[in-house]
């Protein structure tokens, strides 16, 4: 299947077995000084073994003083040995290895000890930064050349020069970022000078047969005076003349809302950047990689068949399922666990320095633990009863089956997937709903017994005596105890998303978290005037940064009003009485939708029955504590791994 996607491609002296590229996604799996770790080796080896054509090792620092901790570095000869272990592992797993050469500019803020090199004098993160000097510019250019030579020695098959996303080369190239008045600023020719010097230094340091890729933004988003696609096309032509072979066409920068395009969440359309890549390819006549929410084999094949790109980046698709390529090539698409663009593990997890040492994935809790969490068959297969067929319960069942156990899912309703399906009812989130449905079918197809319309009861446990019980009964919406909340005009947000009720007229949504905002979106899309009332000083606190940008932009476009610091006092026939810093007022509406959070369902009776029956008992997911889906699924995996 997917003949075009899995056809070989030749670039200079390199032949790739297929057109799938694992891009250089930041992982924070490197060591304190940027050294390659066994964890990073196992992560890349798993994707190469999974059938990926080319693995690009992420944002490798070329300059030691500005290299942040736990980001890959190739800035010193002492690091070559570790990189050799990584390239060997990728090659032994059947793949090819590339590495992305990087100078991060303000992105080094992840490590306060790392220097920030900036194109102009500027203030950032509370620091006054001085523009990089011309002498220092030449030092960085030399560092690119030396790093490239190290990469060749370490066994990489090709290199990628990062000239996008607000990093130093892009900062020089973009007129929206570069305000210098010397020979490196002003005209397009001057702004191109530094990145072209870097390209030449790299090209001169590597063998003639080694390809050089370049990651480039298609244009600058939300950046006054920024790069246009016409300027990008012109720069790419010149870069090609100076030794670049392949254009990896991305979008985004880290100082504006354009950051939403770097790791685009579910709110951004799939393949949103493909047409830009197609135009750049057409006008430069250069080999091009399409990037941007390409997460199914069907979509990737269509892009190649329509001659819009030569290769496709499928990054988060392979975080969610490292066997993505093998499954697609073999026609086992129903077995693929698809990325849903939630951003909870790959981006939010990357930025969460306090709670997560490296990235993870909502759909693949094993990400970053490929070696130490290999699943083994249980010595004694057990009959395990799972109360609840939501995503946590399904993940537990999936892993139990892989380990040789016999899971039985007790689902009170008529479907598997739980609140993932409810969340997938919001506008633009059909992928999430379909992922839940597909996952339920996968678990059933794998051999799990499912009893629909059958909640697990203490009586069943007492009578059937399973070896273990996992309570994955989830949570229920909190009933707001507010005068007037019993009125007919009041309903719960979950009922709105599930299309069980249709509020009348104008609507006030009480609660500005994820569920409230998505209910507001659904109501606005259906034509209702909507206002959201949030007691905190900001709405969307439980959304990750990039999803929040996208959701708030969408609600703004739908004219949804958001009133923050609003304490709701009473629901009356004409609206909701609130108290704000400006005083008491009535927000007029015809209907009220409650979205004030969820509370765990009680599983104490199941626990008591399990203890009496001699069965091991576990509580996972929202049944333990209402949180994000990533935590629930991770607990399902971890519990099943240890049963």
Q: Is residue 384 within 8 Å of 456, Cβ to Cβ?
A: no
Catalytic, 167? Answer yes
Phi, psi angle pair for 501, to nearest 5°: -135, 155
Catalytic one of 2, 43, 156, 167: 167
DSSP of 381-421, one letter per residue?
A: --EEEEE--BHHHHHHHHHHHHTT-EEEEEESSS-SBTHHH
Which ranges of 100-228 would DSSP assign to H, the alpha helix?
Answer: 134-154, 168-173, 188-205
Q: Rounded to whole angstroms, how far apart are CA atoms 512 and 535?
A: 8
Phi, psi angle pair for 398, to nearest 5°: -60, -45
- Taking Cα atoms as reference points, which of 456, 445, 446 lies closest to residue 409? 456
Rounded to a whole number, what is the distance in angstroms from the first to the last CA of the chain?
38
Q: Rounded to whole angstroms, how far apart are CA atoms 24 and 99?
A: 8
Q: For 499, left (φ over 0), alpha (ψ -120 to 50), or beta?
A: left
Encoding tokens for residue 75? Answer: 């800035």
The distance between the two most distant Cα atoms of the chain, rounded to a whole number of Å, is 83
Q: Rounded to whole angstroms, how far apart are CA atoms 577 and 586?
A: 4
DSSP of 289-302, one letter per residue?
A: EE-SS--SHHHHHH
DSSP of 62-110, one letter per residue?
A: S-GGG--TTS-B--SGGGHHHHHHHHHHHHHTT-EEEEEEE--GGGGGG
Phi, psi angle pair for 251, to nearest 5°: -150, 160
User: What angle (nearest 5°) sits at the alpha carbon of residue 115, between those of residues 252 and 41?
Assistant: 70
Beta strands in 191-250 (DSSP E): 212-217, 246-250
Q: H or E stretch including 608?
A: helix 604-613
Q: How far is CA 289 from CA 44, 45, 159, in A?
A: 20, 22, 14
User: What angle (nearest 5°) sits at the alpha carbon of residue 215, between those of residues 210 and 217?
Assistant: 155
**Residues contacting 506, CB < 8 A, separation 6+:** 528, 529, 530, 531, 588, 589, 590, 591
Residue 294, Cα to own-chain centre: how many angstroms? 12
Q: Is residue 454 within 8 Å of 414, Cβ to Cβ?
A: no
Encoding tokens for residue 472? Answer: 């994955």
User: Would you please indicate which residues are annotated as catalytic (active-site) residues?
Assistant: 167
């Amino acid at each position: 299947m997917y003949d075009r996607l899995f056809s070989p491609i030749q670039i200079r002296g390199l032949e790739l077995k297929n057109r799938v590229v694992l891009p250089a996604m930041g992982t924070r799996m490197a060591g304190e000084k940027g050294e390659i770790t066994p964890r990073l080796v196992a992560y890349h080896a798993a994707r190469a073994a999974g059938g990926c054509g080319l693995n690009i090792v992420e944002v490798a620092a070329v300059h030691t003083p500005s290299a942040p901790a736990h980001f890959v570095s190739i800035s010193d000869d002492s690091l070559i040995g570790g990189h050799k272990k990584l390239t060997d592992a990728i090659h032994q797993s059947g793949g090819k290895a590339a590495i992305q050469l990087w100078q991060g500019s303000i992105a080094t803020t992840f490590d306060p000890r790392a220097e920030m090199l900036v194109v102009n004098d500027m203030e950032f993160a509370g620091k006054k930064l001085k523009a990089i000097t011309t002498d220092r510019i030449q030092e960085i250019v030399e560092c690119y050349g030396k790093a490239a030579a190290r990469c060749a020695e370490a066994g990489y098959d090709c290199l990628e020069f990062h000239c996008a996303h607000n990093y130093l080369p892009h900062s020089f190239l973009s007129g929206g970022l570069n305000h210098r008045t010397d020979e490196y600023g002003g005209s397009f020719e001057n702004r191109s000078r530094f990145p072209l010097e870097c390209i030449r230094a790299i090209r001169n340091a590597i063998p003639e047969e080694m390809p050089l890729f370049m990651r480039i933004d298609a244009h600058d988003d939300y950046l006054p005076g920024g790069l246009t696609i016409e300027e990008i096309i012109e720069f790419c032509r010149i870069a090609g003349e100076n030794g670049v072979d392949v254009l990896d066409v991305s979008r985004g920068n880290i100082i504006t809302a354009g950051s939403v395009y770097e790791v685009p969440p579910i709110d951004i359309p799939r393949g949103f950047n493909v047409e830009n890549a197609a135009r750049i390819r057409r006008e430069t006549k250069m080999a091009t990689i399409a990037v941007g929410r390409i997460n199914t084999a069907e979509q990737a094949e269509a892009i190649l068949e329509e001659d819009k790109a030569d290769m496709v980046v499928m990054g988060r698709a392979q975080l969610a399922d490292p066997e993505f390529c093998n499954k697609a090539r073999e026609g086992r698409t129903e077995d693929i666990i698809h990325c849903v663009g939630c951003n909870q593990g790959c981006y939010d997890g990357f930025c969460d320095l306090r709670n997560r040492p490296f990235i993870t994935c909502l759909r693949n809790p094993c990400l970053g633990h490929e070696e130490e969490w290999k699943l083994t068959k249980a010595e004694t297969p057990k009959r395990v009863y799972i109360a609840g067929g939501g995503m946590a319960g399904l993940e537990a069942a999936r892993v139990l089956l892989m380990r040789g156990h016999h899971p039985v899912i007790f689902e009170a309703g008529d479907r598997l997937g739980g609140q993932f399906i409810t969340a997938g009812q919001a506008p633009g989130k059909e992928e999430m709903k379909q992922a839940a449905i597909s996952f339920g079918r996968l678990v059933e197809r794998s051999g799990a017994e499912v009893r629909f319309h059958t909640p697990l009861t203490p009586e069943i446990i007492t009578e059937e005596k399973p070896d273990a019980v996992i309570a994955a009964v989830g949570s229920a919406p909190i009933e707001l105890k507010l005068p007037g909340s019993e009125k007919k005009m009041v309903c719960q947000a979950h009922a709105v998303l599930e299309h069980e009720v249709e509020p009348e007229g104008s609507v006030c949504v009480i609660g500005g978290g994820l569920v409230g905002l998505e209910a507001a979106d659904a109501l606005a899309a259906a034509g209702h005037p909507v206002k959201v009332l949030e007691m905190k000083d900001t709405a969307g606190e439980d959304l990750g940064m990039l999803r929040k940008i996208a959701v708030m932009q969408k609600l703004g476009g739908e004219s949804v009003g958001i009133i923050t610091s609003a304490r709701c006092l009473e629901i009356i026939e004409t609206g909701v009485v609130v108290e704000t810093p400006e005083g008491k007022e009535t927000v007029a509406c015809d209907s009220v939708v409650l979205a004030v959070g969820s509370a765990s369902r009680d599983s104490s009776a199941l626990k008591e029955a399990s203890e009496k029956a001699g069965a091991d008992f576990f509580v996972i997911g929202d049944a333990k504590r209402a949180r994000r889906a990533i935590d629930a699924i991770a607990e399902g995996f971890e519990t099943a791994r240890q049963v």
